[in-house]
Chain A
Amino acid sequence: MAMRAVLRCLSANFSPGLPQLSPAARLTATRPPWRSCSPRTLSTTSALSTALKFTEKHEWVRVEGGIGTVGISSYAQEALGDVVYCGLPEVGQSLEQMEEFGALESVKAASELYSPLTGEVTEINTELAENPGLVNKACYAEGWLIKMTIGKPEELDGLMDQPAYDKFLKSLEE
């Protein structure tokens, strides 16, 4: 259920065409990408990757091989407007959960980013320097912000899965 929702979110971020899969799903899917994955195939990948987890600050994290990829949700990029600049941390920087790690600029507004987990930054998305709009166009894929180690895996349990996040978004609208 969660994975279908993830695929739905991914496809919503791409221009009309085929839904694209995250790298982990591409490696493990036994079918061509344009057919939806069977739940049984996906459950065997749980050791390698997890579905997206979300924070109340509208960041997402996806864990693959002990590394968490972090980005902002579709709701967040919509609320920001067109991103023109991404202020990201240095590789090697240590982050505590909820600590401010950077900022995104849109419509002359600099909005802070908060780390979903405790860990160390291993990679930043250098594509965003030339193409900050990726955060809007592909917030769950090419618009990822940073990758980090998972210092405290138990923190993942405290984050929302896709259905919980969807419910959270509905509650905000009320």
Chain B
Amino acid sequence: MNGSRPLVEVVRLGQVSYQEALRLQQVYVNRHKSGPAHALLLCQHPPVYTTGIRHKPYPAHLLDRLRLLGADVHRTNRGGLITFHGPGQLVCYPVLNLSCFKKSVRWYVCELEKTIISLCSRFGLEASTSPHTGVWVGDNKICAIGIHCGRYVTSHGLALNCNTDMSWFSHIVPCGIEGKGVTSLSAELQRDVSVEETIPHLLDAFRDQFNCQLTDGRTADDRQRRN
């Protein structure tokens, strides 16, 4: 184990399309080719349904029906089944090189779950894990997780419902798990909890759980100025 804690750059993207976030993740993944360059991308997406590497459960006609609802639809190379991203949901994409942490995706996913559980407890909310990956409050999932790992570099990540419009989830079986529901920080705490309010708590929890240092990287404004 190295003496110093790994440095992770926090990149606040604001509201970006799913496609743009994929493109940006790839930029940060590629940076790792010339040495450790960990980043934590934070964003929200316009309404979008995404699926993972298991294609069979989601034939084209099913995805077309979801498009009729006014959402974007994307197949991805992450693990996990179908989920929804939209305004009011804090989406976090850690692009880490696990060589600088622990070379195990099982460990990594577990650490992400613990990070969210810790975040929830900072809000006075008791969350837990289950045999199904993700973070749960009782029988309802508050945070979905789905990641990709190539040459120890991670992409995709987690999606925490802050004040998401939960009705979008009613059109799918979230993560393919029948009989369970979804929830959000706002629903559980019976008050409006925004993404903006949640971000500092996520960063604190992440820093503690992964025992790393965080620095502020690019923001959405920087990106616009550059373009």
Contact = CB atoms under 8 A, between A and B. Distances in A.
Given A85-B53, A87-B53, A108 B80 contact: yes
Interface stretch (A30-38, A99-107, A155-163): A99-107
Contact of A79 (B52, B53, B107, B134): B107
Contacts of A172: 103
B107 A110 contact: no
A60 B79 CA distance: 23
A106 B79 CA distance: 7
Interface in B59-118: 77-80, 103-110
Interface residues of B, number: 25
Contact of B52 (A80, A81, A110, A111): A110
A57 B151 CA distance: 8
Contacts of A108: 52, 78-80, 109, 133-134, 145-147, 175
B54 interface: yes
A81 B77 contact: no
A110 B104 contact: no
For the residues of A in contact with B, the DSSP-based class is strand
B201 interface: no
Contacts of B52: 105, 108, 110
Given A105-B79, A108-B147, A110-B79, A80 B134 contact: no
Nearest to A100: B150
Given A112-B150, A172-B103, A107 B109 contact: yes
A172 B152 CA distance: 14
Interface in B107-157: 107-110, 133-134, 145-151
Contacts of B105: 79-81, 106-107, 109, 111
B103 A79 contact: yes
Contacts of B77: 103, 110
Nearest to B150: A112
B51 to A, nearest CB: 12
A112 to B, nearest CB: 4
A105 B54 CA distance: 9
B133 A107 contact: yes
A110 B106 contact: no
B174 to A, nearest CB: 12
A111 B134 CA distance: 18
B79 A107 contact: yes
A53 B54 CA distance: 30
Nearest to B113: A107
A81 B133 CA distance: 11
Q: List the 9 closest pairs (A to B, CB-CB), nearest first.
A: A81-B106, A79-B104, A108-B80, A108-B133, A109-B105, A112-B150, A110-B79, A108-B79, A105-B79
Given A80-B104, A108-B175, 15 more contacts: A78-B104, A78-B106, A79-B104, A79-B107, A81-B109, A87-B53, A103-B77, A105-B53, A106-B106, A107-B110, A107-B133, A109-B105, A109-B109, A110-B148, A112-B150
Interface of B: 52-54, 77-80, 103-110, 133-134, 145-151, 175
Interface of A: 57, 78-81, 85, 87, 100, 103, 105-112, 114, 172
